[in-house]
Amino acid sequence: MILTVTLNTALDITYRVRSLRPHASHRVSEVTERPGGKGVNVARVLAALGHAVTLTGFAGGPTGQVLREALAGAPGPVDALVAISGATRRTIAVVDELTGDTTQLNEPGPQITPGEWGAFLDRYEELLAGASAVALCGSLPPGVPVGAYANLVRTARTAGVPVLLDTSGEPLRRGVAARPDIIKPNADELAELTGSHEPLRATQDARRRGAHAVVASLGPAGLLAATPEGRWHAVPPVHELGNPTGAGDSAVAGLLSGLLDQLPWPDRLTRAVALSAATVRFPTAGDFDLAAYEKLLARVSVTAA
């Protein structure tokens, strides 16, 4: 079983409009609503690839109830979320059909009490006992200690479970020092962590700070990986147009899937890039175009960096 952790789950709401213009009223052509948050998206993609997945984190209030009912009503990840008194946040994505661009509005998340954080830690340790890998994903809601991910990384390492960390800012800086097996920042997050805007140098610096392997997302330019086995750059065959929301989460799913399948690093990166590109083609995060993914697998370019 793969365990994904989303401390700041969300109900993702996507509006599609003909053309998004500031200071104007818009007629919405389509609305979709689904469980979200980075780790939830990762879990959904892993389940679609055939892996057994359990997701945990927090859910509460009317929004959290809708989220959990949606999880229960569809095949896929097992819900092991911890109930809280606060209300799960919402994220709003507005897709401009004319340009394909997406505008994202993210609420901060509910206040987590010390008792709720303690209940999560107990649940996390229980779930780790049956996990083959764990992904720690996304932002921290208010009330969760800034060093939370560092604590969760150390707990996973003590349990002998490989751990991937995908977050940003101070939680990433502290989490890297706990020596996760993989981190997956984007270019801006990596630059903030290391102070370097040259991606290859930054990935190497992030490894020196504690990460066993660093896979940096470079947007349309693919993934850059620095690992103990070598350095590679994986690039999709074309720049995909569509909704990029969730593309990085699909890359995380690909990396975890490749880890469990014991693929060499170039093949893991190929899977991650193909999944990411196939996700851009899909209108909602956490899903991907299966036919596109299978075609892209043979067309991703991986070179030594």
Beta-carbon-side half-sphere exposure of residue 262 (alpha carbons within 13 Å): 0
In angstroms, rounded to a whole number, what is the distance separating the alpha carbons of residues 120 and 174?
Answer: 20
Instruction: Pick 183 or 247 by higher pLDDT.
Output: 183
State whether the Cα torsion 121-253-44-76 is positive or negative: negative
In angstroms, rounded to a whole number, what is the distance separating the alpha carbons of residues 290 and 274?
Answer: 10
Query: Which residues, listed in sequence order, are joined to residue 24 by a DSSP beta bridge?
Result: none
Q: What is the pLDDT of residue 115?
A: 97
Instruction: Tell me: pLDDT of 124 over 90.
Output: yes
Catalytic center residues: 249
Instruction: Tell me: pLDDT of 221 over 70.
Output: yes
User: In this structure, what token pair is assigned to residue 51?
Assistant: 């892996």
CA 269 remoteness from chain centre: 15
User: In this structure, what token pair is assigned to residue 6?
Assistant: 């989303």
Render pLDDT for 140-153 as a digit per residue (tens, 0 to 9).
999 999 999 999 99
In angstroms, rounded to a whole number, what is the distance separating the alpha carbons of residues 236 and 240?
Answer: 9
What average pLDDT does this structure show over 182-208? 95
Render pLDDT for 222-272 as a digit per residue (tens, 0 to 9).
999 999 999 999 998 876 665 667 788 999 999 999 999 999 999 999 999
Render pLDDT for 36-71 as a digit per residue (tens, 0 to 9).
999 999 999 999 999 999 999 999 999 999 999 999
CA 198 remoteness from chain centre: 23
The single-letter DSSP state of residue 186 is: B
Band (296; pLDDT cuts 50, 70, 90)? confident
In angstroms, rounded to a whole number, what is the distance separating the alpha carbons of residues 203 and 76?
Answer: 33
Q: What is the pLDDT of residue 216?
A: 96
Are 38 and 6 contacting, i.e. CB atoms less than 8 angstroms apart?
yes
User: In this structure, what token pair is assigned to residue 5?
Assistant: 């952790």
What average pLDDT does this structure show over 77-89? 97
Which of 286, 292, 3, 7 is CA-nearest to residue 146?
7
Q: What is the pLDDT of residue 217?
A: 93
Q: From residue 163, give the alpha-carbon distance in Å to each of 13, 197, 230, 294.
A: 29, 26, 20, 27
